[in-house]
Structure 1
Amino acid sequence: MSSVAPARGGTDGRPSRALRRAVVEGRVVRRGRTGGRQRAVAPPEVVSRRLRSRTWRAANSWWLAIPAVGLQWLAFLYMGLRGRRPLWVVSALGYFLANGAAFALVSQDALLLNVLGVLLLAGTWGLGLVHSVMANSTWLRIKAAFTGEEVPAAPAPAPVEPAAPADPVVALQDRLQEVVRTANRNGGRLPDGAVPAVREVEDVLKPLLAHVAKRGADVEELHNLEAIVTEYLPGALGHYLDLPEEYALTNRGPGGTTPAEELVTQLRLLVDGAKDLQRAVYDQDARKLAVQGRFLDAKFRRSDLDL
């Protein structure tokens, strides 16, 4: 359920019309705090418990006896004022006028007018009784939400610390482990050579990711690693596992290969690609070391140090 802001009540302390309407529509509404406690205007657990209780419903449906004895107007006047529902007050006025007209006709000397008065009185009584039974469910919801029950004021929520940005390399390490677990779990469905190829990719990328995480990855390295770990490798496995096992092993496509053979071929290409990427990263670091060596050699050559 959603919460809405408190609305002001009347001078008699009862909730306002907007507040009543929110309860009838099933929204939770809370009143302001008083002395560290707050009025439970519509706590869901209280409303639900009361409405499920047959004893409570019967005890709060006593007002149906009022229209049963012909005082429909009094019952709807009471509910309309307590529930702040203008339509019920208008209904009370209509029943009052109808009863008054019926009694006026019955008191006449003409027999026809007496019969019309009796019919109007009986019709008003029947209509009011049916109307009361239909309105009782709405009245019970209002009673369940507004008969009041003190509950401790909810403590203020603790401030949420903003989460630290996730390390993309750590995320790639976790993703790689997840892909390997998927391959191991489906080893019975994958063709021969598929699981060893996936593990070979892991053997290449796992130390590479640890190396990159230690010194920091540049944009191009991160892009290439993400492509293998999050797209190419899980994509190949996922597309294959989506196929029926027999189809993947026996059906040959336009190129003359089965999906199983195509998967193994792609995995071998990924092994080669991972090795190429590993070599490129290590070569780049080696070049950096060589560049620094040449700089130091030029900077600290003996001739430069001679006075």
Structure 2
Amino acid sequence: MSSVAGPTARSRSDVRPSRALRRPPGATGAVEGAVEGAVVRRGAAQAPPELVSRRLRSRTWRAANSWWLAIPAVGLPWLSFLYMGLRARRVRWVLAAIAYLLAFVGAGTTIGLGLVGSELLIVLGALVGTGAWGLGLMHSVMANSTWLRIKAAFTGEPVVEAVPAPAPVGPAAPADPVAALQERLRDVVRTANRAGGRLPDGAVPAVREIEDVLRPLLAHVAKRGADVEELHNLEAIVTEYLPGALEHYLDLPEDYALTNRGPNGATPAEELVNQLGLLVEGSRDLQRAVYDQDARKLSVQGRFLDAKFRRSDLDL
């Protein structure tokens, strides 16, 4: 069995996908993993989840690291995607850079031929060049959010934001970001329960349904470690979307919220119930995505074991 155990250990590390931001047992500060499947495959260091989250929440940091959008704006989208693809080790961004470069070369060649030939070629070349520029600019704007999430996971980059004011003396916040989200979710549910008399019918049950979905999901993520994308989506629902909807509604006078109809014909009360329904659906979609991802990892392991230990491989 010694001849089988050695290759098995090596093959398993090659086959099994790495778990993003996995925390080793007993450690609270060190994190390992991959962001978007392409950042740390060669052992690059990974920023802690709380630092990644703080960077993504900082508007100053996001603006400072979106400077590359000026490159496609001046007509060089191929250069920006080449930079991002090499920096993040993303093959599809490198391929996009090659495609945009070929489009601009083709447009320039067509215009050059048109100068000594037909004006139609000049128009065609200008259309191709303009189209490639517009498509590249739109593609860059769409890719920026992914690029920021990847770049936020790089270590050694200071957070560009104002120094926060000293926090008031009180109970220390949980160091674990997932534990902080669990506590924040409990606070939001308590707020909804206390304000139940002011909230419209169906609002409090919807909040509790969101809790029923997210509470076990947060426990699951806390047990096996959250990657950057999961943490970002959970944080958005628990700390922004859900409490924001409740706070905006409770800021309104009760009579106004129940009777006044906006431009879309709905009252604020109806708007709140509708938004909570969307958050229920979004929470279930997120829960399903997290569990599906873990199920795929199990399936990969099963295929590996089936290929490794089938009878033909064990026959000596």
Question: Normalising by the residue count of structure 2, what TM-score does the alignment of the two structures yield?
Answer: 0.45
Structure of greater relative contact order (alpha carbons < 8 Å, 6+ residues apart): 2
Question: Normalising by the residue count of structure 1, what TM-score does the alignment of the two structures yield?
Answer: 0.46
